[in-house]
């Protein structure tokens, strides 16, 4: 709007000047023709002179437009001079904008070059369009690799599946393409027109630290198990010894309770370390979820000797899930036992199994005191407790939900938690439909050539 406001008065002035020039020219030639007795011929000749002059101006402008870089700026007058001036102004403005754009692109390129992560830009077809210095070093990229498919450079099967799937919510960890003892974390961001930028971060050091932490916990748990067993054995012997004084028995009982808590903590740490280990050889099989939950409910009822909880199940059919039975038992067991431990006597606990379109859902619901909303995001953190004072009485270690979370992750599942203070809580395990074992697969496994093992 501002440029139009600026140019309109100038255009009007040029137009008026051009009109005066035409009127003066034609009037002069009309008078000249009238002097010789041919006024109309003079007028027509004046028009002809103006048209020839206009055509010359247009020709000069056209030649200059076609050969801007080679030809000099033409000398044109009148309204054509205005058009030439506007064209030159636009050219100068275009140069300034182009210079700004190049500077911005250079800054952005320098910024991406300064990023520690390897960055690769690919188009909608997956071909490499640009990469920074870190990507060049990490993947040994050459200039000839531009326009090559990125999957031809990073040909890891896991990355190919991740890239082709098109869902990049979570980053992917994979072994370093060039070195087997290195690891990278790949994350992909989508842009317009199908373009994607791939960021590769070297996480070898973090991976080594994680392995060291996991090995430390595993070794510590293993070393503590034997002395704790011996200690608890002696404490139990002292409790039942006839010569033990009653006051000492109470002390030994309390010591044995704390030893049991330490033993449970060691067991949970061992389980968590096992679940976090990526190198473990996991053998998945068809697990009968219905039978597994029934066994867990029986164990929960034996645990619930004094609280008299009302535990019921809502399962309409036998459901089979492809997974590791010990891990699934750990998931469902932790949820059910937590409901027994942390709800008042006489509470209702419902374990339901349903089969929505998304896959399989196993939920544990109670009508206990509930949990404040601020605690829900942190419930799966290790050693996090909503009420630290009650963990001593219940024997909780603060690792149950962390174990459940990791076990679910290994089955491509997720944990959903809903709770309201005074109304109760509901913990749901959601498994994708790919993990469900269909009846045809079960029948095939029971034939002469079973394709998978069934665990009831």
> What's the DSSP call for residue 190?
E
Where does 182-324 have alpha helices with state H?
204-240, 246-276, 289-303
DSSP notation for 353-368: EE--TTEEEEEEEE-S
Element (H or E) spanning 131, and its range? Answer: strand 128-131
Please answer whether residues 178 and 140 qualify as being in contact, where contact means their C-beta atoms are separated by less than 8 angstroms. yes
pLDDT of residue 2: 44
> At 77, is the secondary structure helix, strand, or coil?
coil
pLDDT in tens, the chain (456 residues): 444 445 566 667 777 777 777 788 888 888 888 888 888 888 888 888 888 888 887 777 777 777 665 567 666 666 777 777 777 777 778 888 888 887 776 776 666 666 778 888 889 888 988 888 888 888 888 888 888 888 888 888 888 888 888 778 788 888 765 566 788 888 888 887 888 888 888 888 888 887 787 778 777 777 887 888 888 888 888 888 887 787 888 888 888 878 877 887 787 777 777 766 644 556 788 888 889 999 988 888 877 666 788 888 888 888 888 888 888 888 898 898 888 888 888 889 999 998 887 788 999 999 888 888 888 888 887 777 776 544 455 556 677 788 888 888 888 888 888 988 888 899 999 998 888 887 666 666 555 555 566 665
User: In this predicted structure, what is the pLDDT of residue 440?
Assistant: 65
Tokens, residue 225: 């198990």
118 DSSP β-pair partners: 200
Query: Can you give the pTM of this predicted structure?
Result: 0.55
Reading phi first (left if > 0) and then psi (alpha if -120 to 50, else beta), residue 191 is in beta
Domains observed in the chain: 2-108 (no CATH), 115-202 (3.30.450.20), 207-276 (1.10.287), 285-455 (3.30.565.10)
CA–CA separation, 203 and 397 (whole Å): 30
| Alpha-carbon gap, residue 83 to 77, rounded angstroms | 10
As a residue count, the chain comes to 456
List the structure tokens of 410: 């290994």
């Amino acid at each position: 709007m501002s440029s139009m406001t600026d140019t309109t008065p100038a255009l009007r002035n040029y137009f008026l000047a051009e009109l005066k020039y035409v009127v003066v020219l034609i009037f002069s030639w009309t008078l000249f023709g009238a002097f010789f007795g041919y006024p109309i011929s003079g007028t027509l000749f004046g028009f002809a002179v103006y048209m020839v002059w206009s055509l010359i101006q247009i020709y000069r402008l056209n030649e200059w437009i076609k050969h801007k870089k080679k030809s000099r700026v033409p000398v044109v007058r009148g309204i054509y001079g205005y058009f030439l001036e506007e064209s030159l102004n636009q050219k100068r403005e275009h140069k300034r904008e182009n210079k700004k754009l190049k500077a911005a692109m250079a800054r952005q390129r320098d910024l991406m070059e300064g990023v520690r992560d390897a960055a690769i830009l690919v188009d909608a077809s997956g071909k490499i369009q640009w990469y920074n210095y870190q990507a060049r070093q990490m993947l040994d990229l050459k200039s000839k690799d531009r326009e090559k498919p990125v999957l031809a450079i990073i040909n890891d099967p896991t990355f190919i599946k991740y890239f082709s799937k098109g869902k990049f919510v979570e980053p992917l960890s994979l072994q370093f393409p060039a070195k087997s003892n290195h690891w990278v974390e790949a994350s992909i961001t989508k842009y317009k027109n199908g373009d994607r930028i791939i960021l590769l971060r070297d996480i070898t050091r973090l991976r080594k630290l994680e392995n060291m932490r996991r090995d430390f916990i595993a070794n510590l748990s293993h070393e503590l198990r034997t002395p704790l067993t011996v200690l608890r054995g002696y404490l139990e012997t002292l409790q039942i010894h006839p010569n033990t004084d009653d006051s000492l028995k109470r002390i030994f009982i309390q010591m044995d309770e704390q030893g049991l808590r330490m033993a449970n903590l060691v067991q949970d740490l061992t389980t968590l370390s096992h679940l976090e280990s990526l190198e473990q050889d996991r053998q998945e099989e068809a697990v009968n979820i219905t039978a597994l939950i029934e066994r867990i409910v029986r164990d929960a009822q034996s645990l619930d000797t004094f609280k008299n909880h009302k535990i019921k199940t809502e399962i309409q059919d036998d459901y089979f899930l492809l997974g590791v039975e010990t891990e699934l038992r750990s998931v469902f067991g932790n949820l059910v036992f937590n409901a027994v431990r942390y709800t008042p006597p006489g509470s209702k606990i419902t374990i339901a199994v349903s089969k929505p379109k998304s896959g399989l859902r196993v939920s544990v619901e109670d009508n206990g005191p509930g949990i404040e909303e601020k605690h829900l995001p942190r419930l799966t953190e290790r050693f996090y407790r909503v009420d630290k004072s009650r963990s001593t009485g219940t024997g909780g270690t603060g690792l149950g939900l962390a174990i459940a979370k990791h076990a679910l992750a290994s089955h491509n599942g997720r944990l959903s938690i809903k709770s309201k203070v005074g109304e109760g809580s509901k913990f749901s395990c959601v498994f994708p439909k790919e993990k469900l074992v269909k009846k045809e697969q079960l029948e095939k496994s029971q034939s002469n050539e079973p394709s998978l093992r069934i665990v009831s």
